[in-house]
Structure 1
Amino acid sequence: MKIEFAPRQIPFQRRLQTASVLQWVFSFLCLAQCCIVLFVLLLFTRFWLISALYALWWAFDWDTPNKGGRRLRCTRNCIAWQYMKDYFPITLVKTVDLDPGTNYIFGFHPHGIMVAGAFINFCTEATGFSKQFPGLTPHMMMLNLWFRAPFFRDYLMSGGLIPSDKESASYLLRKEGGGNVIIIAVGGAQEALDARPGAFTLLLESRKGFVRLAIEHGTPLVPVFSFGENELYDQVENPKGSWLRWTQECLQKVMGISLPLFHARGIFQYTFGFIPYRRPIYTVVGKPIQVKKKHNPSQDEVDELHQRYLEALCKLFEEHKLKYDVPEDRHLSFR
């Protein structure tokens, strides 16, 4: 295999962009584990008091992630996210104005490998979410497991992330006055196993929990499609029925997280590594689907709204795909 090295003469701006993406990839893959190790190791050093005091704070603060979290403006506005946004680049596309007096549920598709588009658009201000949707506060949902990691949980909350459970979502959707947006990567970790360039198959047919949640709170559903999300990484072939796919699905059921074998480019060469390709992402926010509130909806009512959502998502995709270099003969499919 011939290695293609990066040119020596690269603008400093591009080096900063790569560095910002590198720290994000590290945070996504390793930071939680590093925080856990640090917390434990400190207990066996003269700095044990740091972990002891944090443990007390942690016990006192245990329910904060389930009650809207604790976002920090400095984290969301960090200059590193601007460089990361420019690396791909990532663009947030608004199709309609949203009422700041209403709560919303955004269904984000596709999950991709690392949901880069969702992170930059909704967990930072790099693409100007607050300017495009004034009065709305985004809350990206993430696997509950990560909110059990010391120190890391606080980092997640500072960006506006909350646990992906019904309790956390309901707490915000019940708030009077509106203005809260719950962002759910509906396909979840399991969909990441199908994330590869050119893939337009979404894990959505059996995912109806977010629809039921919308009916119970009378919250409008907004389909969001992120063009380019699946183009960032290649993935080792893992077709249904293969031993690799069977192993990945078993691990996903046990651990709650999937382990796609992905690769792209490196820091100083373009042949292999875990740094995503420089490919544009356009995250298109569609029109809200109005939902009638009902405390205990029937399965038929859930199915009917779910079908409306699928149709709205397909329409959004078809209306915008040619703008973002998707071939005319490509269409969304669901499983």
Structure 2
Amino acid sequence: MGKPVNSGHASPWPSPPGFVPMGLAALTLLLALAPEDVRHALLTPARAWSWLRACAAAVFALVACLVLVPVRARKRAGPWGPPWLAHFVARLLSASANAMGVHYDVEWPACEIVADQPHVVVWHPHGALAFCALSIGGLLSLERQPIRWYPVVASVIFRFPLLREVVLLLGGREATKETISAIIEAGHSVGVQPGGIFEQLRTSHAREHAFFPPNLTFVRLAIEHGTPLLPVYLFGENQLFSTRPALQRLARFIRRWTGVPLIIPFGRWGLPWIVPRRTRVRIRFGRPVPVGPACARPSDEAVDAVFARYSAELHRLFDEGKSTLPADVAARGLTIVRRTRPERARR
């Protein structure tokens, strides 16, 4: 459920809820089918005006709740919603994953991870649908296994009613520099997925990749706040669904024009989206990578040095746990790709 800063073409505002006009249409239909004396009692000029004002107020309140509240909440540096509801949703998602045949175990290093110290939790890989990040990651975070963190996700997530409320309950926040900084400054850990939608659109069930943005914003922010990087690898995430290169090219084309990553992966029985393949996902936390004292304006050399240490720890973590992957995938190893800047950005 993760995305680094900058979400491409995604609109910063959620789409308006579609059931508002549907509700008004249903109300109109009910009035049309009501007996004549009822319509006359309800639709006298005075009462019609009163009904119109009441409907307008209800629609405004509904839009405010479903659009304006999530817009504020997605930048919130702390919990959102009742804790009991967040735990219920997290357990429900985890139980649903188990019912579909996706089981998991989690392990963190013997070295102490200071629970009260903010970390930048960096998880890999993104996967075709970030299935485990949503269905399992939220529960791990709420139960502090090993720490509580607030994952930042693509802005496009907040355009979909219900999904955005679930993400907010589980701690998901909008992936912007300001939000990440606010979370760290509030004393919380933040979770990022550096590959984001770029990696999602290139996920392969036959290879393991870790994509990183050109400017390594997550590393820069960690150095600015003196916050250690904590790598996490989800062995098996990529094997939950299979992907088709032709459909991925189509998805990249659609995203270029709409901002929406329309991914079409295939799970059990060859069905798209519905049910993932039966897989045991092994979630492994690496050793915290120190970034040194806080530095307001880290140099490119300092960022590259920290990234080199992070990459080395990520490789070590992967090599230690790759035996749990299919043999052919493990043999290919982990490929780390730092994207180059677009030509127009260099000019």
- Above 0.5 in TM-score? yes
1:171–1:42 distance in 2 versus 1, CA, 3 Å: farther
Paired position in structure 1 for 2:345: none
Q: Distance in 2 between matches of 1:309 and 1:280?
A: 26
1:132 is matched with 145
**Greater helix share, 1 or 2?**
2
Q: Report the CA distance shift for 1:40/1:334 in structure 2 as closer, same or farther (over 3 A).
A: farther
Is residue 188 of structure 2 the alignment partner of residue 187 of structure 1? no
Q: CA deviation at 1:271?
A: 4.0
State how far apart, in whole Å, the 2-side matches of 1:164 and 1:72 are.
Answer: 23
1:127-165: CA deviation from partner (whole Å, max 9, x where unpaired): 5752533xx422121111332445553332112110111
Name the SS of the counterpart of 1:183 in structure 2. strand
Aligned pair in 2 of structure 1 residues 306, 251: CA closer, same or farther (>3 Å)? farther
Please tell me whether the aligned partners of residues 225 and 295 of structure 2 are also in contact (alpha carbons under 8 angstroms). Answer: yes
**Alpha-carbon distance change, 320 to 277 in structure 1, aligned in 2, over 3 angstroms:** same
* 1:91-130 pair list within 5 angstroms: 91-96=105-110, 97-123=112-138, 125=139, 127=140, 130=143
Q: Give SS of 1:191's match.
A: helix
8 Å CA contact retained: 2:207, 2:332: no
Structure 1 residue ranges without an equivalent (≥5) = 1-32, 239-243
Name 1:25's counterpart in structure 2: none
Shift of the alpha carbon at 1:245? 5.3
- TM-score in terms of structure 1 length: 0.76
Distance in 1, Cα, partners of 2:220 & 2:15: 37
- Matches of 1:56 and 1:147 in 2, distance apart? 14
Aligned to 1:291: 291
Code of the residue aligned with 2:74 in structure 1: it is P
What letter matches 1:181 in structure 2? S
Contact 1:226 1:282 (C-alpha < 8 Å) held by counterparts: yes
Query: Is 1:141 aligned to 2:152, yes or no?
Result: yes
Q: 1:203 to 1:128 in 2, by over 3 A?
A: closer
**Structure 2 counterpart of 1:36:** 17
Corresponding residue for residue 280 of structure 2:
280
Mean alpha-carbon deviation: is it higher for 45-54 or for 107-116? Answer: 45-54
1:129-278 equivalence runs, <5 A: 130-133=143-146, 136-150=147-161, 152-175=163-186, 178=187, 180-204=188-212, 206=214, 208-238=216-246, 246-265=249-268, 270-274=269-273, 275-278=275-278
Cα distance per residue 1:93-133 (max 9 Å; x no partner): 2224321221011111110011122223332x2x5752533
Separation in 2, partners of 1:146, 1:128: 19
Q: What residue number does 1:16 align with? A: none
Which structure has the larger Rg? 2
| Alignment gaps of 5+ in structure 2 | 1-13, 28-54, 338-347
TM alignment of 1:5-20, pairs within 5 A:
none
Matches of 1:128 and 1:214 in 2, distance apart?
Answer: 20
**Conservation of the 8 A alpha-carbon contact between 1:111 and 1:187:** yes
Q: What SS class does the counterpart of residue 89 from structure 1 fall into?
A: strand
| 1:35–1:151 contact (8 Å) kept in structure 2 | no
Distance 1:59 1:92, change over 3 A: same
Letter in 2 for 1:81: L
Give the % identical residues: 21
Report the more deviating stretch, 307-316 or 142-151. 142-151
Change (3 A) 1:309 1:131: closer
* Equivalences for residues 2-81 of structure 1 within 5 A: 36-44=17-25, 46=27, 49-57=57-65, 58-59=67-68, 62-68=71-77, 70-73=80-83, 74-78=85-89, 79-81=91-93
Code of the residue aligned with 1:222 in structure 2: it is L
Q: Does the CA-based 8 Å contact 1:72-1:159 persist in structure 2?
A: no
- Output the CA distance in 1 between the equivalents of 2:127 and 2:97: 16
Q: Over residues 50-88 of structure 1, what are the superposed CA-to-partner deviations in whole Å (9 max), with x where a residue is unaligned? A: 432133445466422212251443233344224224231
Local SS of the residue matching 2:116:
coil
The 8 Å contact of residues 121 and 231 in structure 2, kept in 1 or not, is answered as yes
Question: Aligned with 1:92: secondary structure?
Answer: strand
CA distance in 2, matches of 1:279, 1:146: 26
Rate the CA distance shift 1:272–1:34 in 2: closer, same or farther, 3 A.
farther
CA distance in 1, matches of 2:173, 2:126: 17
- The 8 Å contact of residues 231 and 279 in structure 1, kept in 2 or not, is answered as yes
Per-residue Cα deviation, 1:267-322 (whole angstroms, up to 9, x for no partner): xxx24342211111111111111112110111111111111111110110011212
**Structure 1 residue 306 corresponds to structure 2 residue 307:** yes
Whole-Å separation in 2 of the counterparts to 1:264 and 1:61: 31
Distance 1:192 1:60 in 2: 28
- The one-letter amino acid paired with 1:272 is L
Equivalent residue letter for 2:262: L
Seen in structure 2, the aligned counterparts of structure 1 residues 83 and 155 have a Cα distance that, compared at 3 Å, is closer
Q: Contact 2:119–2:227 (CA<8 Å) still a contact in 1?
A: yes
Shift in alpha-carbon separation, 1:151–1:230, aligned structure 2, 3 A: closer
